[in-house]
Structure 1
Amino acid sequence: MEDNMSRREQREQIFKILFGVEFHSAEELDEQIALYMEELGEIRQKEADYILNKVHSIVEHLDDLDSSLNAASKNWKTTRMAKAELSILRLAAYEIKYEEDIPVSVSINEAVELAKAYGSDQGPAFVNGILSGLA
C-alpha cells in the first residue's frame, strides 16, 4: 500500500476520469471508472471512495455545472471548449458550488495547475478567467 495520496493527486485522478468520460457513453461510465481504478493500482480504500464518489457526483451535476460555466464564459459555450479544459472547469466548478470546505481560491489555483499540465498554452488563462467569473 502506497503513502497517502495528496488532495492534489486525488484531484488529478478525478480530472483524468472526467476527461475519459468525454469519450464514452454514459452507459460505459461505471466500466470505464472500474478500468481506470484498476490501472491506478493499490490505493487506500478511503481515497478510492473519495475519487469515485466525487466523479459520480460531478457527472450527476453536469447539466447544472455546464449551465453555470456557460453563464460565466460569455463567448465560449461548453460544447466548444477543449475537452481537457472543460473537464478541469467542471471539477473546479463542482468544488466551488458544492464543496464549501474547499476555499474557492484553492479550487481555482488547482484548476490552473491542472490546465498548465494538461491543457493548451492558453488553457491556464482560459480556466482562470472563467472560474473567476463563476466565483
Structure 2
Amino acid sequence: MAHVATARTKARKRALDLLFAAEARGLSAGDLLDQQIREGEVPNNPFTVKLVRGVVAESERIDALISAFAKDWTLTRMPAVDRNVLRIGVWELLDGDVAPEVAISEATALVTELSTDDSPSFVNGVLAAVAKDLAKR
C-alpha cells in the first residue's frame, strides 16, 4: 500500500526539515522556528509548529527515551534524519493525539523516504519499544 501524503504527513516532514536544519546550524529548533515566523515563513500547517514546539519542550525526556531503547546506538552516532524523526515520533507517542501505530507508521515512512536502508526497521523498533514502555505506565 502506498503511503498517502496527508496534511499531517507534510507537516511532519516540514517539522523534520526544521529540526534537521536547526541541528545542522547549531541552533535551537524553537529559535529557528521563531526566526522563520518573524521573516514571514510561517509553516502553513499549525501541526508543524505544534510538533517543533513539543519536541523542543520535551527534548530531555524524548532523548532519554530514545537513548534507553536504541540498543547499541547513541544519539550522536545515529544519522541526523533518524535522530530527528525519532524525536518527532516519541513526542507524538507522549502527546497521545494520534494512535501509537500512526505515530510509528508515519515516522517509519519518513525515514524510508529520506534515510538509509536500515533506518525504517531501526526507527520502527525504537518507537515500538517506547510505545510499549509508555503503555505500561
Of 94, 107, 110, the residue aligned with 2:106 is 110
Aligned to 1:92: 89
Give structure 1 regions of 4+ aligned residues with deviation exceeding 2 angstroms.
Answer: 24-30, 32-43
- Contact 2:65-2:130 at 8 Å conserved across structures: yes
Change in CA separation of 1:35 and 1:41 when aligned onto 2, cut-off 3 Å: closer
Q: How many residues of Structure 1 are paired with residues of Structure 2 in the alignment?
A: 125
TM-score of the two chains, using structure 2 as the length reference: 0.79
TM-score, normalization: structure 1? 0.80
In structure 2, the residue matched to 1:7 is 8
Of 17-26 and 121-130, more deviation after overlay is shown by 17-26
Give the conservation status (yes or no) of the 8 Å contact 2:93–2:103: yes
Partner of 2:22: 21
Cα distance in 1 between the residues matched to 2:49 and 2:75: 23
Residues in 2 aligned to 1:37 and 1:10: alpha-carbon distance in whole angstroms = 19
Aligned counterparts, 1:36-51, within 5 A: 43=44, 47=45, 49-51=46-48
Deviation at 1:25, TM superposition (A): 2.9
CA RMSD across the alignment = 2.5
Counterpart contact for 2:12–2:51, Cα < 8 Å: no
Paired with 1:36 and 1:118, the residues of 2 have a C-alpha distance of 25
Instruction: Provide structure 1 residue ranges, at least 5 long, that are not aligned to the other structure.
Output: none
* Amino acid corresponding to residue 74 of structure 1 in structure 2: K
Q: CA deviation at 1:133?
A: 1.3
Retained in 1: the 8 A contact 2:62–2:87? yes
Contact residue 69 and residue 134 of structure 1 kept, 8 A: yes
How far did 1:36 drift? 8.3
Q: Offset at 1:121?
A: 1.2
CA–CA distance in structure 2, aligned partners of residues 16 and 110 of structure 1: 15
| 1:129 CA drift (Å) | 1.2
Give me the whole-angstrom Cα distance separating, in 1, the residues matched to 2:57 and 2:43: 27
Distance 1:29 1:85 in 2: 19
Deviations 1:78-114 (A, max 9, x none): 121110000100000000012x120000000000100
